[in-house]
Amino acid sequence: MSVSPVKRQKMESALDQLKHHTTVVADTGDFNAIDEYKPLDATTNPSLILAAAQMPAYQELVDDAVAYGKKLGGSEEEQIKNACDKLFVLFGAEILKRIPGRVSTEVDARLSFDKEGMIQRARRLIDLYKEAGIGKDRILIKLSSTWEGIQAGKVLEAEYGIHCNMTLLFSFAQAVACAEAGVTLISPFVGRILDWYVANGDKKTYEPSEDPGVKSVTKIYNYYKKFGYKTIVMGASFRNTGEIKALTGCDYLTISPKLLAELSKEHVKLTPTLSIKEAQACPLEKIHLDEKAFRWHHNEDQMAVEKLSDGIRKFAADAIKLERMLKERMFSAENGK
């Protein structure tokens, strides 16, 4: 006896329905979560790697990174930096065993205003993946969406064939500059935009369709699709499932294990809210941004200026914590003896 379409719809979770319209990415360094939710891709950042590196299950990876840093030698600082890069790649390599697509690995946020430094570090990470037998087609290098980061992404894509994921993206100006740079993917943040408006405005709750983060990603998606940009739009940083459902139809969405779990238990009908057809009918005009225009337009958006600088500081702080943890592992024991 066949099941009616209505009943079948009830049986399918919001997560399964979302996967029909949007590529679902896991925002985690935890392999168990990846095994459970079976995303196409996965994203990591210094904060997620720091959290995972402190879990008992992943101590072998930390030990391997420490051994690698020591083997390469050099100054204490160089050994820690090499161990850190290796740890990011070890996590990425393990994640790639569990997903069919790509993993995003982030360049140190302290290089956010150093174009050449970002290019060099990105190439180093790709070399480490190559040593592990993994081609650059399975890696997205995450760079901060500063002017320097966007230009680094442009060079990496055009000259080295390295695919980039531009992160910490809060303003329309950042999105336009990324499209013009021809990067593979952008990660416009949703939840952090909402956080700013809740903290700085009178309104404390928003319906998903009125959520300022949702509106930001919707505008970016519509602009890219209207003007034929190939760059993938991947909404990121969600605070609730309402934001995710309101962006059904977006190219990609990267979602934390907690919200993936909630979506897998929800059984409401999802309909795409974003579509190429609707985007092409939007009354947006194409703009070009050189460096001066980019800096001006980005600076006009107080939220974006504050959240970009705050995001860089937070990722940098977690990178420092990770380095301290590795330093303790690498040098404290031998100093104690």
Residue 65 and residue 264: Cα distance in Å, rounded? 35
The stretches of the chain forming alpha helices (DSSP H) are 5-11, 14-21, 31-37, 46-53, 59-72, 76-96, 115-131, 147-160, 172-181, 191-200, 212-226, 241-245, 257-265, 276-280, 291-299, 302-327, 333-336
Residue 226 and residue 220: Cα distance in Å, rounded? 10
Rg (alpha carbons) of the chain, rounded to whole number: 20
The stretches of 38-140 forming alpha helices (DSSP H) are 46-53, 59-72, 76-96, 115-131
Is 86 an annotated catalytic residue? no
Q: Which helix (H) or strand (E) holds 41?
A: strand 41-43
Q: CA torsion, points 123, 124, 129, 132, in degrees to nearest 10?
A: 140
As beta bridge partners, residue 117 has: none
Residue 276 and residue 107: Cα distance in Å, rounded? 32
C-alpha distance from residue 172 to each of 34, 288, 337 (Å): 31, 12, 55
Q: End-to-end CA distance of the chain: give it in Å, rounded.
A: 73
The amino acid present at 311, given as its one-letter code, is G
* Longest CA span, the chain: 73
- 19, 115, 142, 245: which one is catalytic? 142
Q: Which residues are catalytic?
A: 142
